[in-house]
Structure 1
Amino acid sequence: MYRVLFVDDDEAIGFLVARYRIWKTAGFELADFAYNGREALEKLSAGGFDLIITDIRMPVMNGLDLLRCIREKGYPAIVILASTYQDFTYAKEGIRLGAVEYLEKPYSEEKVAEALRLAEDYLGQEREDAPERYWHALLEGEDPAQLADSLFREAQDRYPQDGERMRRDVAGLLEKVYQKMCEQAPWLKVIDKKDFIIGGRPAEEAEEIFKELQWKIKQYGLRSPDVMAVRIARLIEEYLVSDHLQDILAEKLELSKDYIAKLFRGRSGMTISEYTTLLKMEKAKELLRTTNDKVYEIGEALGYSTTDYFTRLFKSCIGCTPAYFRKYSASEEKF
């Protein structure tokens, strides 16, 4: 949910805009109001906002001066300027200063909704770029302590007075950086389940997490990723429960089974059979959590002919029986 600061010297306009239905569905929260640019700056310094919608003509400090101050102080919020058609020359100056859109007054719900859609695209792209930036920094061997410091400073700029949101922001970005790694080494999603779960770790461990990620980059040779190994992993997922999986791989890749097995083990550190089993156990966990299918039905769906064998295999990989997992997984962090 993106937080919006609405700035306009006409209190009645703010009251009207606050009643728009879009705030219930648009993914934006109309978090606060200010009645001139100086008051808006005070609120920006005290709490995190993602979007500022500001009138241009206001007493004390106008919208253009507010925009200049926002950029000078480095606040990460994006700005949409609003004014009448006669002020369009000022609006063009605002766009030059970094405003992302101009909203012509008088306000209407349709105009504000369109402006919010544009802002959402802009904010979404801005957030999507950050994981890519940190991932490349890791590949280039940048210092984990500096990366963690940069990560926290950016989050603090967004949420200067909201420590909980700041920590969630840091943890969310770390998870996305890890997902970037998994794109180049899909097997990490299953072999790291027990010892590297970013989502369950406090954001304060960012430096340690960056160190672990760099270690894995080195361990799996991700500075020069193997496209064929990734393709093998994707095909295993696609044909997970098929009979004669390795024959299918050989046919799809037009390579010998021995070569495929050797290549995959060299990159992932495990055999195709081991990887297949781990994927099936992850699928079994998902089915146990989300369906009422009986244990034997889940085993059969994953290609196991007997319930006893499926149960023994599940316990060996996960550490408990399927029945125990289903009963307690919701309250047990280790699962």
Structure 2
Amino acid sequence: MRLLIVDDGHYVVEYMKHLLDWNTFGIDQIETLTNSIEARDILTQSHIDILITDIRMPEVSGIDLLQHIHQHSLPTKVIILSGYSEFEYAQQGIRLGALDYLLKPVDKDDVEKAISKAIKTITKSRPAQPIEWEKFDGQGYLLSLLGQNETLRKEYDAHTKFLGKRRFCFVKLEDFAQEHEDGIKQAVGDKLDRLVWTAGTRLVGLVPEETAGELTIKLEQSVVSPPFLLTDRNVTRQIFYKFFLNEDVHSEDFIGIFTPSPSCGDWESAGNISKSYDRIRFRKQKTIFLMETILYVYLTDKNRDAPEIADWIFNGLRNPDELWSNLTDAVSRIRNNKQMSIQTIVDKVQTYIEEHLSHGLSLDELGKVAHLHPVYLSKLFKQETGENVSNYISRKRLDKASRLLQDSELRVADIAQMVGYKKNQYFIQLFKVEYGVTPYQYRRNMIHK
């Protein structure tokens, strides 16, 4: 699915681009533009599923883009960005067919709701698409059947409808040889060989019923589950859990375990994974929870190891508490990678501040440095450092001023200008609050030390 974000403010499009983990919504292509004329051309020339656009832009406005989409009968779903003062303008956009509008500065939860609404609308209206087998990921497909992520399930709807015309079985084979794996993959044929995995010392798979019957004859040590239809999600899950994990599950077992859901972008960052797992008492619920955690790692960790995930699904889940430590390590890696990215942004802003203390250093200026919306940058900075941006700037300015007072013979008024204070009296007032003495007294005290 393809998303286009248009705003004449560079930092706004960068903020929106990094606001969500778009892959979890099935959005794998993101375009950003600050030129609305180019945006109109792209809408005409390329298939864009969702457009997020500022409502007021020079030359071509968000309303103009909406009218363009309407006039050319384009299938693009539109979400408008507007300020409070543009409320009536936004309502005009809704009348022209915009799906939703978001007030600036946009809230992450509101964006998630709007995108979910757009995807739901697209899914309902979209005709059946040809199946792209070259992109078919067997592991992702299995998790779409077993997990709770509706976006992933919808991504594979066409595959399920196609495969649902025949019955399937799960199969497992202990202590297999390479010839056994080659034989099973050859039996199921191209495409479906992606539904056969090695998991530790076991060979496991999801194979058509007729193939499963052949395997029980050719490979006496193979074990095959009862047949089922992939279109029946509950039965598929029941047979998987019974066959591989010896657990009897029912549809109600999957309700209410996840608070918040692992699909939530901030799930791992607030320590919720530990709180959620620790409160689960029974093995079956632990297993279901850990399956969802595996799905989270699959969707979020771009460097995920496919054999390791297969081992977790088919082997690790048999011992939930042992698997727990491995999964927390994986989630911690994801969190740390995100944290490193955030820390890089904060470091960049701090370095810029320290090198430009004589500047005005407004949030707008710093937002452009970080390519983030100023309000979002302010929240991020406070979250990471425990200090407001304005407090940090003031502290660094006064720190530099104290050093200049010690190490130079510059006039106090010149030092005030060098650290960004245009009014000398205001600088003296702030300096006294911080150090308990005026700049003049401070310098005299340092000289007589």
Specify the TM-score bucket, using the shorter chain as the normaliser: 0.3 to 0.5
Larger Rg: 2
Q: Which has the higher helix share?
A: 1
Normalised to the residue count of structure 2, the TM-score between the two structures is 0.32
Normalised to the residue count of structure 1, the TM-score between the two structures is 0.42
